[in-house]
Amino acid sequence: MAVPATGAASARASIDPSRITGLVLAGGRGSRMGGADKGLLDLHGLSLAAHAMRRLSPQVGDMLISANRHLDEYARLGARVLQDAQPQAFAGPLAGVAAGLSACTTPWLLCVPCDGPWLPPDLAQRLGQAALAAGRDAAIAVTGGRRQPVHALLRRELLESLLGFLAGESRKVEDWLGTVGFAEAVFDDPRAFDNINLPQQLEALRGRD
């Protein structure tokens, strides 16, 4: 169940960055990109994962990367690299989230996909405000009327719930979030959540400033 953040006083409360670990999700198969490892694709001289890290790292106290191949290349970006429990299965973003929650040493984990190079600079702050205001253990971004469930702030204690969910058949992020309840933070700039799923989308982004 989604809950909007309400109340002026509670909306001002946020979470200190030192209490949040950032997780860049780069463990996908990249099937719509011809099997390419999306996080390592180049955009303006940096890999997509590096772009995501540059946007996210000032907002959090620690950084992790979820990856299932090219681990050494991801490690060069300067964060600890985690594999899924079954890396050859490419089981989707929730498997990476589970690895992140298992490794997280802070109370909160902020997940973002590796293929979003223009993350909002206040993503952590506003998701934290939404979670605290609504009294929820999870918060996701919403932009242009669309939920962005992979841009999620999660309490570390949600790991047990997630592992139980993954024991079933569904792998959809929003299905799991619906079982725990979540708050929403609305962002005005949909461009901040642009992601790359197809080669032509990457080419279009390469043409932007």
Distance CA 76, CA 138 (A): 30
**Residue 135 dihedral angles phi and psi, to the nearest 5°:** 65, 35
Contacts (Cβ under 8 Å, ≥6 apart) of 204 = none
For the chain, which residues make up each domain, given as ranges?
2-206
pLDDT tens-digit map of 10-67: 446 899 999 999 999 997 765 565 667 888 998 888 999 999 999 999 999 999 999 9
Residue 64, judged by CB atoms within 10 A of its CB (0-12, 13-18, 19+), counts as buried
pLDDT tens-digit map of 112-139: 999 888 899 999 999 999 999 999 999 9
pLDDT tens-digit map of 78-124: 999 999 877 655 568 999 999 999 999 999 999 999 988 889 999 99
Tell me if the domain spanning 2-206 has CATH number 3.90.550.10. Answer: yes
Please report the pLDDT score of residue 8 as a whole number.
43
Residue of 205 and 58 predicted with greater confidence: 58
Distance of CA 187 to the CA centre of its chain: 15
